[in-house]
Structure 1
């Protein structure tokens, strides 16, 4: 019975990955925000204060914030397409969780949510176009991997993309490289004492590993995008500011860089000539 409950719980959990239509949210303000509005008049009234700590979060799905109750009411017809399925599936998930906690089984030390590699409490809502939703999806995906390094749900495929959507390019690269150099057949995925996803600050400018231990199309796409994000500002230096000083280069990066990696690489920014670096990134 416990095995059936676990399968049912995981099936509901998995539904949260694919349940929602991709709709481009319109934000109140500029930049990566999470406040939705309807209509240009609302935008003009709220642009300056869209990052206020007093933003209202949708109580049902927890993935969207609003400037005020009027905005939330106005946006409800559009938002409910995503919100209602999330809320319904969360309620079902809560019910299955209660059953598992009441009957955890004999092989989970009384807590299947911390000790069972087949059980997750993920809330993957990455198709909701807000920063909050992406943060939730990333956190829960990493938690799934913590419980099950073998990744029977296949969530590792979406993690680099989630990092990139949050502007955390370095962490995306570190994640991809770990699987490329350490995730081989000799690694014991069941041994929780082994180092796991422990690479930090790896060189994103290095040559692409031609024969990685683990290959995934989504990894390849994320890696390509990471390289492009590094390539574009370097090419911009060569074309627009070939003689820029160090301070001018950092000012340029603040405005133009698509990746957070360059700001952390003073050795790269200080180079006299980027031609070799650009050529390597293009390979």
Structure 2
């Protein structure tokens, strides 16, 4: 899987002092019985790690219990505004009805607690809950859509991230009726991540622009890696190229584009991706000049608490940074590349 080349631990023993080598990618790892988002090689390391992990584990359990409590309340007393069971009658329209809001907020808080844990398992659970919140409330009053692409990226699911962004860019315009459940929703799959950047629709959401920049950089670095492999192995078969990508790629996009992998030379593709990255860099800088300095120095936003914000403000950059930083920091080649771009622009 491409995510094996990212910095997000997955299927690892979570004991960290020192890091456990025995439990790396072991099929016999055990979940923490409390939070179910971290794993251990055995009871010894689980017990030894409890003092550190309980700071994460307890809030996860508390918020998970709150979700169960609010769901039970909503099912038992759905309120007159939902015309019965909301999970049957108003899927897609949650939050428009007052009685659903405590439940939706509880699930959002659960996602927030889970994301304090940096494991692939935690990110998978957070993404699944985020997508389900969007299923329940297409209008997305909680702003879940802004976080979803970064979660996809942390898992190496760049194609899904691109499809998600593309749907909002192409379909979610001012004429889309968010209350009409017969309309297609998030139904774009396998879109062309190599295509030119369409600036106009992306302009509405800073988080999408930033995620798109990372998609393009990771794709660029993967194509450059494939180019270097082909130069060293000019007679490499298609199978050998795919084997290289399986071992080295950060993104899953190339694994699904055989016509690109089969090219004899990738120089034009590399040049075009570089141009797109610079275009996106400028778009982000124009939309919010505070964001890229945070990538250069994460401590700028480390101790700040996001508040109400206006577009282009430091507060907006801070909020988007908090939701996207790990997707960058877990991709070392990409973060070094964009830092080079930032330095050359100063």
TM-score, normalised via structure 1 length: 0.81
Q: Return the offset for 1:31.
A: 6.1
Does 1:72 pair with 2:46?
yes
Mapped to 2, the partners of 1:260 and 1:185 lie a distance apart of 32
Change (3 A) 1:58 1:207: same
Per the alignment, residue 26 of structure 2 pairs with 51
Instruction: State the superposition RMSD in angstroms.
Output: 2.1
Structure 2 gaps, min length 5? 1-7, 276-346
Change (3 A) 1:45 1:253: closer
SS at the partner of 2:201?
coil
Per the alignment, residue 27 of structure 1 pairs with none
Check the 8 A contact 1:38/1:74 in 2, yes or no. Answer: no
Per the alignment, residue 280 of structure 2 pairs with none
Per the alignment, residue 14 of structure 1 pairs with none
Mapped to 1, the partners of 2:251 and 2:235 lie a distance apart of 20
Check the 8 A contact 2:14/2:20 in 1, yes or no. Answer: no
Q: Deviations over 1:183-221 (max 9, x none)?
A: 101000011110000001000000011111662111111
TM-score, normalised via structure 2 length: 0.67
Check the 8 A contact 1:63/1:132 in 2, yes or no. Answer: yes
Does 1:109 pair with 2:83?
yes
Q: Which has the higher contact order (CA 8 A, sep 6+)?
A: 2
Q: 2:178 aligns with which of 170, 189, 196?
A: 189
Correspondences of 1:29-178 after superposition (within 5 Å): 32-40=10-18, 43-47=20-24, 50-52=25-27, 54-114=28-88, 115=90, 117-118=94-95, 119=100, 120=104, 122=107, 123-124=110-111, 125-178=114-167
Q: Deviations over 1:109-142 (max 9, x none)?
A: 3223452511336331223111221111111111
Mapped to 1, the partners of 2:156 and 2:134 lie a distance apart of 21
Change (3 A) 1:80 1:244: farther
Higher helix share: 2
Mapped to 1, the partners of 2:17 and 2:35 lie a distance apart of 23
Does 1:270 pair with 2:244?
no
Per the alignment, residue 248 of structure 2 pairs with 256
SS at the partner of 1:236?
helix
Task: Count residues in correspondence.
Answer: 250
SS at the partner of 1:212?
helix
Structure 1 gaps, min length 5? 1-29
Change (3 A) 1:111 1:274: same
Mapped to 1, the partners of 2:215 and 2:235 lie a distance apart of 24
Change (3 A) 1:206 1:185: same
Q: Return the offset for 1:159.
A: 0.4
Check the 8 A contact 1:37/1:71 in 2, yes or no. Answer: yes
Mapped to 2, the partners of 1:282 and 1:83 lie a distance apart of 42
